[in-house]
Amino acid sequence: MPLEALFTSPWWADFYSREVLELHAAAERDGNEVDISMSVVCQGATWAIVSLPCELFVEDASEIQRKSPFKHTVCNTLANGYNGYLPTLEAFTRSGGYETKLLSSSFLAPEAGGLVVSQAVLLLYRAHALATSRFG
């Protein structure tokens, strides 16, 4: 079944309504903010691994790697928890796709991707400064 047909099926309507109700209940119970735990492991200024509890879109992972001060940077996703898909802002403007639907697998705000990218890059710079000051 094509994805577009699935999104217009009675099964999807039932599934989606349950998901929205569950997310609403979770927001009522836990609030609208989501904590995301990130970590950076590095070896000197040579390489770093950024661990995130989200599924990054390739554009955001590439941006983290491009902006990293390390020679080699890897993004380890779905680490230390699960905060669902982290679509790019642009992904929310296109039709189709399940990653931007408000579901338990994709419940973060459209601007969350940019915030996570900027914080990951900040952590990389802090780790790089610490690594180069200690290990030259």
How far apart, in whole angstroms, are the C-alpha atoms of residue 11 and residue 124? 44
Same domain, 76 and 125: yes
Confidence of residue 2 (pLDDT cuts 50, 70, 90): confident
| pTM for the whole structure | 0.81
Count of structural domains within the chain: 2
For 83, the domain range is 34-135
Question: For the segment 5-54, what is each residue's pLDDT rounded down to a tens digit?
Answer: 888 899 988 988 888 888 888 888 877 788 889 999 999 889 999 999 99
Same domain, 75 and 45: yes
User: Where are the extended beta strands (E) located within 35-95?
Assistant: 39-43, 47-51, 55-56, 72-76, 85-86
Q: What is the pLDDT of residue 135?
A: 59
Same domain, 5 and 28: yes
Question: For the segment 54-85, what is each residue's pLDDT rounded down to a tens digit?
Answer: 999 999 999 999 999 999 999 999 998 888 88
